[in-house]
Amino acid sequence: MIQLDKVSKKLGIFELKDISFSLPVGYICGIAGRNGAGKTTISYELLKKMDYFRIVQETDILREIIRGYNDYLSQSMPNIYGNFEEPASHSELLSYDRAKKQCIIMKNSIDEIIKRQNRKCIPTIICGVHIIPEILYDTISGENIKYINLYFDCEKDLYSHLKIRDNNKYGEKNIPFLFKMNSELRDKFFYMQSKSPETFISINVGKLTINETVNTILEFVQNKTNFDIHKT
Q: Where are the domains of the chain?
A: 2-226
Coil vs helix vs strand at 126: strand
Asked if 96 contacts 29 with a C-beta cutoff of 8 angstroms, the reply is no
Beta bridge partners of 64: none
Question: For residue range 59-102, what is the model confidence (pLDDT) as tens digits?
Answer: 888 888 887 777 766 677 666 555 556 666 767 788 899 889 88
Label residue 22 by pLDDT band (50, 70, 90): very low
CATH of segment(s) 2-226: 3.40.50.300
Question: For residue range 6-15, what is the model confidence (pLDDT) as tens digits?
Answer: 445 554 444 4
Residue 131 CB contacts under 8 Å (≥ 6 apart), including other chains: 30, 31, 32, 59, 103, 147
- Using the CB atoms, write b or e for 145-163: b if 16+ within 10 Å: bbbbbbbbeebebbbebbe
